[in-house]
Amino acid sequence: MNGRYAEAHRRSLEDPEGFWAEAAAAIDWERRWDTVLDAGNPPFYLWFRGGWLNTCWNALDRHVAGGRGGQAALIYDSPVAGEVTTFSYAELRDRVALLAGALKSLGVAKGDRVLIYMPMVPEAVMAMLACARLGAIHSVVFGGFAAPELATRIDDARPKLILSASCGIEVQRVIPYKPLLDRAIELASAKPAACVILQRPMAPASLVAGRDHDWQALVAAARPADCVPVEATDPLYILYTSGTTGIPKGIVRHNGGHAVALCWSMANIYGMKPGEVFWTASDVGWVVGHSYIVYAPLLYGCTSVLYEGKPVGTPDAGAFWRVIAQHGVSVMFTAPTAFRAIKREDPDGTLIRRHDLSKFRALFLAGERADPPTVEWAERQLGVPVIDHWWQTETGWPITANCLGLETMPVKHGSSTKPVPGWDLRVLGTDGHELKRGEIGALCLKLPLPPGALPTLWHADDRFVSSYLAEYPGYYQTADAGYVDEDGYVFVMTRTDDIINVAGHRLSTGGIEEVLAAHPDVAECAVIGVADSLKGQVPVGFLVLKAGAAQLPAQVAEEAVRLVRERIGPVASFRTAIVVPRLPKTRSGKILRGTMRRIADGEEYKMPATIDDPAILGEIADTLKGAGYAKPPA
């Protein structure tokens, strides 16, 4: 039986040019493309070669011109700042045009790079769109990033201009950005010609004479700028992701394929309709924020929510439900870690039932593996489909998903459902051959990748090939491991470097985590493989308990070990489960398993630039020492 999903996926692989040409009809083009897919220089494939467009026009002006200027485009909701502001499409276009004019007055033109280092405020969205309006290439760096890390990005992108703010706001603290920015510029060899600083009243910043400009004053003196057409294959942005060498990789995104793929995804993956409210609870500094706070909702004509807050603590674990109810959110997208935090604080879902969620119809999770117990909890509490979907900074939009806009497929807990149309996913063994259904291997994507995926790295074609394409020629290596079951459902189990070898048996840490997360007193968990002189590696589990857990920590740890032995077997050699108050994470919510493993094995490690709270690593080290691990580095 072939449904709409199967037919769309089949056609996208058999006739990619016809499939994506049809999708491109939803976008306004200044000039139609000459070639849908230029495959003349593999592995550097180009989509919509010869076409001209402007991404900002398609995200804002097009909707105003179509008579929908009065519709809400962006809702800024900041419990930390105590502010809620709505911008219509016409208002947002006018604000963006003025900001673009201000940047133009400082010499920013098509092809120039502009670095954006800002908190979750409307001006961050406006900055991205203003760059797109001028044909400039923006590079957003997560606000509050450490100065040395910011400096490396400045040196790689060599921006003409930096847009920043005086501070960011966390739940209980204000983070001054300007000293970090000043230090980064001091460290960088590439000096920007100017900086534009948005002054926030919580912590105004001092400006450097001759270099720094006050945001409000500059915009007040500006004239609106028109959209500048660019080629479909011109970069829209550079987004840096960590590299194994310590030098970040600049992911490039082209204007044309990006606009087509993201617009298509809103209807077909998320099941949205123009005018509906879409909320991605993430940060504009991450790819999720680029794709699904800023560009995709606006390209498709939805209302996007920009939330400057947390899932818990602003003010409580009911924050998400308040936002959904207040703004009439139809579909939400966030990370599983957010829901684990909510479940930990409000395990019975008491706060959910205080809000009217009648307009809410689907929850999407991504960013890390969604463990079945968390998905099941959310399903019970919300009564809507809870969809785990999988993608990466490099891909720019989902690789696998339950495509609600095509057809709603049965959910299999632990699976991110099936490959999205456009993606040809294969499971490969170490020898490069495709594995049978049910066998765990490297999840790879057959080239060419669809529109919206990275075409290369910024000024680093050789590194693009060596990082992603060399190990499996003809394929993009995702660095994730998993399998495809008999029904074609994809199970992303772990990063390939999180496959551990226990006495010759290859085991997925994700599979062990799935068992641990099923314990009724466990809110979240992480498993790492640590060195063992006899077995090569053995798994060690870290457990964070729910608020008001029924059992003592030692009892939970003992039961967790027994659960793994019962469900996976003695082959796992799982003997150590440690209860900890919290896990080390990045600001986007990813657990720092690699860093924890290096601590356990006594290896040198670098403090991750995106860590949420550096003090947690000291706590983890002390805990590991108490358990007989964390040897001093050699």
256 and 171 in a single domain? The answer is yes
Residue 243: the pLDDT is: 56
Q: Sorting pLDDT into bands at 50, 70 and 90, what band is 570?
A: confident
Closest CA to 429 of 469, 465, 392, 477: 477
Upper half-sphere CA count for residue 568 (Cβ side, 13 Å) = 26
Q: Provide the token pair at 403.
A: 């495509």
Tell me how far apart the alpha carbons of residues 117 and 14 are, in angstroms, rounded to a whole number.
42
The last residue of one of the domains, among 450, 482, 514, is 482
366/226 Cα distance (integer angstroms): 36
Same structural domain for residues 421 and 560?
Answer: no
- Looking at the fold, whether 454 and 601 belong to one and the same domain comes out as no
End-to-end CA distance of the chain: 59
The model's pLDDT over 471-488, given as tens digits with 9 standing for 90+, comes to 999 999 998 999 999 999
Across residues 536-565, what is the average pLDDT? 90
Closest CA to 248 of 115, 390, 395, 148: 148
Residues 470 and 526 in one domain: no
Task: Based on the fold, state whether residues 405 and 554 are members of the same structural domain.
Answer: no
Predicted local distance difference test score (pLDDT) of residue 634: 43
Q: What's the number of domains the chain is made of?
A: 2
For tokens 């406006």, name the residue. 126
What DSSP designation does 317 have?
T
Amino acid 506: pLDDT: 56
Q: Report the alpha-carbon distance of residue 21 to residue 25 in Å, rounded.
A: 7
* Residue 378 forms part of a structural domain: no
pLDDT at 566 over 70: yes
**End residue of a domain, out of 416, 450, 482:** 482
Q: Residue 412 and residue 417: Cα distance in Å, rounded? A: 7
- The reply to whether 21 and 78 lie within a common domain is yes
CA-based nearest residue to 74, from 357, 271, 297: 297
Flag whether 360 is in a domain: no
Distances (CA, A) of 615 to 168, 326, 584, 620: 20, 36, 9, 9
User: By mean pLDDT, which of 160-174, 286-300, 497-511, 565-579 is the weakest?
Assistant: 497-511
Shared domain for 274 and 212, answered yes or no, is yes
* Letter string b/e over residues 458-490, b meaning 16 or more CB atoms within 10 A of that residue's CB: bebeebbeebbbebbeebbbbbbbbbbeeeebb
Instruction: Output the domain CATH number for residue 524.
Output: 3.30.300.30
| pLDDT given for residue 134 in this prediction | 98
Q: In this structure, are 290 and 430 located in the same domain?
A: yes
Helix, strand or coil for residue 51? coil
- Cis preceding-peptide flag for 398 (omega within 30 of 0): no
Residue 132 lies in a domain: yes
**Statement to judge: residues 100 and 11 lie in one domain:** yes
Mean pLDDT of the chain: 92
* Domain co-membership, 190 together with 236: yes
| Cβ atoms of residues 576 and 540 within 8 Å | yes
Sign, CA dihedral 46-50-53-54, equals positive
Outline where 106-214 has alpha helix (H). Answer: 122-134, 147-157, 178-187
541 occurs within a structural domain: yes
Q: What is the mean pLDDT of residues 105-121?
A: 98
CATH number at residue 440: 3.40.50.12780
631 part of a folded domain: no
CA–CA separation, 394 vs 181, rounded Å?
26
- Is 361 contained in some domain? no
How many C-beta atoms surround the C-beta of residue 346 within 10 A?
Answer: 19
pLDDT of residue 601: 86
CA distance 131 to 1: 47
Question: Is 537 domain-assigned?
Answer: yes
CB 72 within 8 A of CB 86: yes
Residues 552 and 595 in one domain: yes
Contact status, residue 75 vs residue 303, Cβ threshold 8 Å:
yes
3-state secondary structure 570-588: HHHCCCEEEECCCCCEECC
pTM, two decimals, is 0.85
Exposed/middle/buried for residue 164 (C-beta within 10 Å: 0-12, 13-18, 19+):
buried
| 338 within a domain of the structure (yes/no) | no
- Containing domain of residue 21, as a range? 4-309+389-482
* Integer Cα distance of 165 and 195 in angstroms: 10
Same domain, 453 and 534: no
